[in-house]
A and B are shown apart, each in its own frame.
Chain A
C-alpha cells in the first residue's frame, strides 16, 4: 500500500495513459533499441517525464530496470576533498541528480560517465547471454540545473562514448540547456495531460479505490486546480478522499498545499491594502515561505499568477496588469542574478502596490 501516485504509476509503455502520440514515439524508439539516440525529455512538472523514461527503459531492457539499488560512490574534487554521492542504479541504467552534488556536478559527470563508459565495455564482453544492454543508460534528472561547466563536459562525452552510454535527460525548461547538447539529443516534448485526460485517469483511480462520487464535477474541479499536473491531481484526490470518509461531494473543498494557500492570501492582501504595514506583514510571510524551502522564484511565479489570473475585480485594470507582468519579468531576472531573495521579493510586492495605486 502506498500513495496512489505511486500505486497507479504506469510501469510499461503499454499502460501509459495520456498523450498517445508521445507513447507511440517512445514505442518506436524502443523497437530499435540499438540506435536509441540521446534523449532530452522536456515538459512541465508532473507531466510524467520520469514515468515515461522508466517505461521506455522497461520496454528496452525488461522489468530489471525497476530493480533499483543505491550505490555510494566517492569522488575526489579538485581541492582534494572527498565527495560522497548516493547513486540510484539498476543493472541497465544509472541516475544522477545534479542538485545532490552541489557545485561539483562537473567532476561527478566527468568521473561517473567515464567510469561507466569504460567499465561497461568489459562487462559486455564477458556477458555470456549476450544481452543487448551493450550500452548503459544514464538518466540525468533536472538537467536544467546542470551548471554550464557540467554541460560542456557532457558534450564530447556524448559523442565519444555513444557506443556505451545513452543519456536521457529530463528537464522542466530547455532555456538553460546549451545549444550543443540540444543538437546532440532527440528532443521529446512531454505535454501535461489535458483536462479530460486527467479526469479519465482520476475516475479510473476512483473506481479502483471504491471512492463514492456524488458527481463527476468534483473530478473536473480537481483537474482544473491541478492545472495539468498529474501528480498534484492524484495527491489532491487521495487527500480529499481520505479526509472525507472516501466520499466526494460536489461541494467538497479542494485541498491545496499550505504554501499555495499562503501565497494566494498574500496576493489578496496586497490588492486590498497597500501600506507599509501590509508590506511588513508580507515580509514575515515571505520569510516563512523561504524558511519552508519554497524557492523564491516559485513564490514569485505563484504570486504573479495569483495577481493576474484571479484579481479582485475593480482593483487591477488591464493596464495595471501589464505593469505587474512587466515587473514580474524584471524581478524574476533579479532573482536569477542576485542572491538576496528577500530584497527582490519584497521589492516586487512594493512595486506592485505602487503600480496598483497609480492611475494608469
Chain B
C-alpha cells in the first residue's frame, strides 16, 4: 500500500494511481458512479478501491492528503468548510474535497431553512416585504443558481481550476486533454497554469456574464476584484490598480481574481495595453523560470518572480470584434455566451415566484421573458414590480393581473411603456374618446419615454386590428414619425426643448389605429436595439478586415475603403470563395482557381479556421475569420446553400494552402509539418468513427493495448506515442468534444510494466446519460 503523494506528471510515478475526477459540477447533481459513494464510506488516507490494471496488477486507488480545505471551499458553501473540520481529509480532485451527498443534504436543509425563514418573514413582516430589491435578493449566489449556458459556465470553472496549482499550490489531477495538448505544444508551464492566461467572455448585454464570472470565481475559491467602466481606467492609474490587485499580497484569505468588465469600449485601449503588458512580462518571466528549472539553478530571486502572473484574469466584453480587443484576443481563452434559453429562464422565474409566494400564470412569465429578451435582471425587476403593484400580497390572480386592473390600479403611478403602448391601440367603447384621449395624453407625458413608446407603437401597429383602405394609415403615420424624429433630434441640439411635442405622436397612433377590437396585450419586441447591436458587430468585422489589410500589407491600404468593402468587395469575395470546387473536372482549371482563391484569401488577410457553428453548439465548422459572410450574405436561402457547400471547399483550400506552406519550408520542417497534418487527418478520419459506442470501442482498444504493452519501450517519453495510440486518444477527445452519449473520455497509456489510467466523466452535463455505471461494466 503506497501512500506516496502523487507527482505532477503521471509518467514519473512508479506506482499506478487512480484519480477519480468527479468534477465540482456534480455538486448539484446526483453522483454518477457507484464508487463515488464508496469513497464517502472510507476515511482518508486509506485504500478506497482495488482493481486489476491492464498489466494484470492489483491496483490500489488512494486518496491524497489534504492541505486545507478552507482555501478552496467557497464562501457560500460554508457546509463545505464544515466537512474539512469533520476530519474528512481528501482533496485534490475536482470536488474540492466536498462530500457530495452530505453537501446535497446540507443544501436541501439550507433551502428548507431559507424557505422557513421566508415564511416567517412574510407572515410577520409582510408589509415591509418589498424593501429589498429582488434582483439583489435572487442574484445567483452559487453555481447551481446560474441560469442557462451550462456548458459555458463549466468551461469557465474548468479554466479557473487550472489555476489551482499556481494559486493554491494544490495538485491538479492530470486532465487527459491537457496532456494531449502538451504533446503538441511541448512547453509545459512551470506553474501549470493554463496556456492562455486571460479568459475573455463575450456575449450580448444583460445575460449575466458578469454574474456568472463572479459566482464562478467565488466558487473556485477566489475573491473578486472588479474593474469596470465606472472606474477610472486611464493609463497609469489603471496600471497601478491592476498591479496592486494582481501582484500584491493581501490579508484576506482567498486569493484575488481580477474581473475586467466592459473592456470593449473605444476608450479602453489604455486598459487593454496594461493587460497585454502584463501578459508579455509574464511570458518573459515564465521563460526565464523554465530556463532556470532546466538548468537546475533554482535561485529564488524575488525580483524575477515579480512579473509572474499568478492570478487569473477574466475579461468581459460585448463585442468580440471590437478594434480595441484585436491585440488582446490572441492571449485569451475565448468563451462566447449565449442568451439563456427561455425554458431555463422560465424555470428560474417560476422558482422565484414560488419562493415569493406569487401566483403568476405561465403566460405572464412568458410575456415577461419576451419583453426582457433574455435579460434576466429585467425579468426579475418586472416581476417584483408586478408583485408590489398588484396590491394583493401573496397572490396575483390571473384575472387581476390583466391589464384592465392595471388601469385602475396604476392610475397615479406611471405605468411601464409597453403597457402604455398596448393601451394606445385599445379603444374603450364605454368611455368617450375625448376622455380616453386626454387620459392617454397624460399617461404618455407622465411616462416621458417618448422614443421607447413610439418604437413600441411602430412595432405593434401592423399586428393590431384597425380599419383601413390599403396602407393609407401607415403611410400617413410616417409623416408623424418624421415629426417625432425631428423633435427627438432636438435632444442633441437644443437640450430637448422640443421633445415634449413628441407626446402628440403616440396619440396619432391612437387616433388612427385605436380600435375596440384590440383586447389582448401584444408583446413588443425591440427590433431596433437588436439591429443596432448586429450593425455594430458587423461594422467591427469590416473594420478589423480593414485594419488587418492595412497593417499586413500597407501597399494596398490606399485602395481599401470601408464602404467599398461593404458594398462591393466583400459580397463578391464571398461569391468567389463559395465557388463549387468539387464540380470542376479539369484539374488544370481547378488548380488555377484554387491558386486564385488562395491569393485572394491571403490578400484580404482572411484565414480559415475552425469556428463554432451557430446552429449547433458542439459542431465546429471550418470557416473564414473574420466571418465575412455575416456582412456579405443577406439572402436566407443562399446563406444556407453557401454554408453547406462551402465547408468542403474550405477543407480543400486549407489543405492546399497547407501544402503550399509545406513546399516552402526547409526539409526537416517539412517532416514536422507532415506529422501534424497526419495528425489532423487522423482526427478528421476518426470523427466519423466516434459515433459508435465508446465503451465498446474502449474495450476493444484496451484489449489490443494489452497485447502491445509488453513491447513498449520503458523510457518512452510522453510525447512519443505511436500513431495508433495517438489516434485513439484523439478519437476520444473528439468524442468528448462532441459530447455524444458517453460520459467518459478515456485515456490509456502503458509504459512497460505499469499501466496508468485516467478517467474523466462529464457528470452533470445535460446531454450526459445519468445513470449509475459500475466499474464492472467498464472493465468487461
Q: A-side interface residues toward B, CB under 8 Å?
A: 1-3, 5-6, 9, 45-46, 50-51, 54, 66-70, 81-82, 84, 86, 88, 95, 97, 99, 139, 141-142, 210, 229, 231-232, 235-236, 238-239, 242-243, 245-246, 255, 257-259, 261-262, 274-277, 279-280, 283, 287-294, 298, 334, 337-340, 342-344, 346-348, 350-351, 353-354, 357
Contacts and interface: CB of A to CB of B under 8 A. Distances in A.
B583 to A, nearest CB: 8
A9 B556 CA distance: 11
A292 B77 CA distance: 47
Interface in B454-480: 458, 462-463, 468, 470-472, 474-475, 477-479
A291 B551 CA distance: 27
Nearest to B597: A242
A216 B66 CA distance: 82
B527 A50 contact: no
B344 interface: no
Contacts of A97: 561-562
B593 A88 contact: no
Nearest to A276: B462
A357 B470 contact: yes
30 contacts: A1-B598, A2-B599, A2-B600, A3-B600, A54-B558, A66-B558, A70-B551, A70-B554, A84-B269, A88-B558, A97-B562, A238-B596, A243-B575, A243-B579, A245-B593, A257-B632, A258-B574, A275-B470, A290-B535, A291-B531, A291-B534, A292-B566, A292-B634, A339-B485, A340-B484, A343-B482, A344-B485, A347-B474, A351-B475, A353-B470
B564 interface: yes
Interface in B86-102: none
B475 to A, nearest CB: 4
Given A86-B550, A238-B576, A343-B485, A99 B472 contact: no
> Shortest 3 CB-CB distances between A and B: which pairs?
A347-B478, A1-B599, A257-B571
B475 A51 contact: no
B589 A343 contact: no
Contact of A239 (B474, B572, B595): B572
Nearest to B599: A1
Contact of B593 (A9, A242, A339): A242
B478 A337 contact: no
Contacts of B219: none
Interface in B513-572: 527-528, 530-532, 534-535, 538-539, 542, 547, 550-551, 554-559, 561-564, 566-569, 571-572
Interface string B574-601: 1110111001101001001101111110
Interface of B: 234, 267, 269-270, 458, 462-463, 468, 470-472, 474-475, 477-479, 481-482, 484-486, 488-489, 527-528, 530-532, 534-535, 538-539, 542, 547, 550-551, 554-559, 561-564, 566-569, 571-576, 578-580, 583-584, 586, 589, 592-593, 595-600, 602-604, 631-635, 638
Contact of B486 (A86, A257, A283, A338): A338
Contacts of A290: 531, 535
B568 A340 contact: no
A242 B462 contact: no
Contact of A276 (B471, B528, B530): B471
Contacts of B589: 245-246
A202 to B, nearest CB: 14
A68 B555 contact: yes
Nearest to B455: A340
A346 B599 contact: no
Nearest to A4: B596
Contacts of B603: 1-3, 6
A300 B245 CA distance: 53
Contacts of A235: 568-569, 572-573
A54 B479 CA distance: 46
Contacts of B532: 291
A70 B633 CA distance: 30
Contacts of A1: 595-596, 598-600, 602-603
Given A3-B600, A257-B567, A258-B638, A350 B474 contact: yes
Contacts of B267: 81-82
B564 A334 contact: no
Contacts of A50: 558-559, 561
Contacts of A54: 558-559
Contacts of A67: 555
Contact of A262 (B527, B547, B600, B634): B634
A169 to B, nearest CB: 15
A193 to B, nearest CB: 16
A2 to B, nearest CB: 4
A6 B559 contact: yes
Q: Which of B462, B463, B538 has the most CB of A within 10 A?
A: B462
Contacts of A350: 471, 474-475, 478
B535 A291 contact: yes
A255 B528 contact: no
Contacts of B593: 242, 245-246
Nearest to B564: A231
Contacts of B568: 46, 229, 231-232, 235, 257
Contacts of B604: 3
B635 A257 contact: no
A47 to B, nearest CB: 12
Contacts of B557: 68, 70, 88, 95
Nearest to A246: B589
A287 to B, nearest CB: 5
Contacts of B489: 337-339
B524 to A, nearest CB: 14
A307 B635 CA distance: 20
A354 B481 contact: no
Contacts of A351: 475, 478
A99 B562 contact: yes
Contacts of A275: 470-471
B78 to A, nearest CB: 46
B486 A242 contact: no
Contacts of A357: 470-471
B575 A347 contact: no
A93 B538 CA distance: 31
Contacts of A88: 550, 554, 557-558
Contacts of B551: 70
A339 B482 CA distance: 9
Contacts of A343: 458, 478, 481-482, 484-485
A354 B556 contact: no
Q: Which of B458, B488, B547, B575 has the most CB of A within 10 A?
A: B575
A261 B586 CA distance: 31
A67 B631 CA distance: 30
A348 B475 CA distance: 8
A238 B572 CA distance: 8
A291 B531 CA distance: 5
A288 B527 CA distance: 10
A255 B575 contact: yes
Given A245-B589, A255-B575, A291 B471 contact: no
B499 to A, nearest CB: 13
Contacts of B573: 3, 235, 239
A239 B600 CA distance: 11
A290 B634 CA distance: 11
B478 A6 contact: no
A70 B602 CA distance: 19
Contacts of B481: 340, 343-344, 347
A347 B482 contact: yes
A351 to B, nearest CB: 5
Nearest to A261: B635
Contacts of A337: 485-486, 489
B474 A346 contact: yes
Q: Which of A67, A139, A258 has the most CB of B within 10 A?
A: A258
A153 B559 CA distance: 26
A343 B554 CA distance: 41
A231 B554 CA distance: 20
B364 to A, nearest CB: 26
